[in-house]
Copies of this chain bind each other. A is one copy, B any other.
Amino acid sequence: MDIKGPSFEILSIGNELLIGKTLNTNGQWLARQITLLGGLCVRMTVIRDDLEEISRAFKEVLERSPRFLIASGGLGPTYDDMTVEGLSKALGRPLKLHEEALSWIAQKYGDLYRRGLTKDPKLTPQRMKMALLPLGAKPLRNPVGAAPGVLLEADSTKIICLPGVPEELKAIFEESVKEEITRGVGGYYFVESRFTVENMGESTLAPIIEETVRRYSPLVYVKSHPKDRSPNITVEFHLTAQGRDKELLEEKVNEAVSYLKENIRRLGGKIVDLG
């Protein structure tokens, strides 16, 4: 049975993520969107703003041939925004000024100027830099900020680069990326269900989990998350399934949940349903 959607990797670029200044909410948001669209996110890599490192990381991901590679961060106008340059280096495709991207950027700064939000609408080298794309890349319109997203195909991988500003990342994703992914994923679904056991530790539950896994794996994935809510021991269960037949997935997840709950109750477990 076909239980795994097309594979995705996420590449998050930015020193702020590696000095612990910023929580990688973009990575989580992207992983959630990809999962809900039926994709299988297999890896997330976080790297620094370093040209060599960016280029190396792109190469490493492409060697693993995921169907999609979604990068975030490093598309802006400053000296350490070098995602596109790193990608160009990794692919051996030179950067070229993209006329359409440039016109969007010109329009954006013209608009900011008219609204009194920039003193000068001029296309400085730093602003023009955002229209430099690797040969063959397509810019994705940024409805919020100036830096366009980038879409590119390399061998069997679709590469999408998005800005690190969350509002811009989300806006480009909604406007251009979602449809691209939906088309690429083609009819995979993700189903999930969760509940909590409030008076029992994970090691006590482990044999029941193992028996459920024996019965419902690999279609249903059973995951238990111990939560520290002293003095009560709490374990959250999260059951997930991925595949092409949504009704079957729902049926099997429900069966596995019932089987688990019944056996946990028999052991004296107190079950709380979650929203």
Task: Please report A residues at the B interface, Cβ cutoff 8 Å.
Answer: 15-25, 27-36, 41-49, 53, 60, 76-80, 109, 112, 115, 117-120, 124, 126-127, 144-146, 165-168, 190, 192, 200-207, 209-210, 213, 221, 223-228, 231, 233, 238, 240, 268
Contact = CB atoms under 8 A, between A and B. Distances in A.
A24 B24 contact: yes
B20 A35 contact: yes
Given A126-B206, A209-B78, A240 B44 contact: no
Given A43-B46, A78-B210, 13 more contacts: A18-B44, A19-B41, A20-B34, A20-B36, A23-B23, A23-B28, A42-B47, A43-B48, A76-B202, A76-B226, A109-B203, A112-B233, A118-B201
A119 B18 contact: no
A268 B22 CA distance: 28
A84 B223 CA distance: 18
A32 B22 CA distance: 9
29 contacts: A16-B225, A18-B41, A19-B192, A20-B28, A20-B35, A20-B36, A23-B23, A23-B24, A27-B46, A42-B47, A42-B48, A43-B48, A44-B45, A44-B46, A45-B46, A49-B223, A76-B203, A76-B226, A77-B202, A78-B206, A79-B206, A79-B210, A79-B213, A112-B233, A115-B231, A118-B233, A146-B203, A165-B226, A165-B228
Given A44-B18, A45-B45, A204 B119 contact: yes
A81 to B, nearest CB: 9
Contact of A77 (B41, B145, B206): B206
Nearest to A163: B226
